[in-house]
Amino acid sequence: MASIVQFENVGLRYGTGQETLSDVSFQLGAGTFYFLTGASGAGKTSLLKLLYLAQRPSRGIIRLFGEDAVTMSRDRLPAMRRRMGVVFQDFRLIPHLSAWDNIALPLRVAGLPEDEVEQPVREMLAWVGLAERAHARPATLSGGEQQRVAIARAVVGRPEILVADEPTGNVDPDMADRLIHLFESMNKLGTTVVVATHDFHLLGRVPGAQMMRLDRGRLLDPTGSLRHPPNEIDP
């Protein structure tokens, strides 16, 4: 199976403090499904930022789709990001756009004609249970409804990689199961999925899904030991 994501001895440091991530190495194959777990502050969100190119590492190698993401020029980043769907913890919906237009945004940015936008947006709204709220703006939606709009926007373009940061944190258990089923369906179509979650009851809901676990910025193997011994000791 071809790897579309490779991290090699990646470290991330904000400012002059200790490293937030240290010696993180892993590969993600095309069409795989991973849950990223770890306690609050373990570094999950920081790892996802590196994955969707919102942050560059302090050291190490990151390759996406076979390209060096560390040295990639800024003018290449938009095209690379269009191959990904991202569900942010804080949703990041455009406040002056309706739910419909927020979901349609990735398709329009990609240059699809309007007659090819309508059907996928309508299907996504129905899937996340918001068909009746299509024209509502984010400020009039509940937190759970905003979360569902954000998820629909992330998956509407059938991205090659889907990255979701706590995507079920603001929805009830039934909707959480429905959203995980949506991610699973995307995965079966070939999308590589990485879901960061505190919700351990979700881990067994996707047959064949694998788990990555972070502990204080270091990646552990399934036994709970460091997957790769650190090359240096943090101060």
Nearest to 195 by CA among 54, 47, 94, 69: 47
% of residues, the chain, pLDDT over 70 = 94
pLDDT at 227: 52
Nearest to 186 by CA among 51, 81, 36, 33: 33
| pLDDT per position as a tens digit, 105-125 | 999 998 999 999 999 999 999
Find the mean pLDDT for residues 214-234: 62
Find the mean pLDDT for residues 189-204: 87
Element (H, E) at 188: helix 173-188
Find the mean pLDDT for residues 207-220: 92
As a whole number of angstroms, the distance between CA 207 and CA 30 comes to: 16
Q: 3-class SS at 67?
A: strand
In the chain, where are the structural domains located? 3-220
Triad 100, 102, 106: Cα angle to 5°: 110
pTM, full prediction: 0.87
3-220 is classed in which CATH architecture? Answer: 3-Layer(aba) Sandwich (3.40)
As a whole number of angstroms, the distance between CA 220 and CA 213 comes to: 6
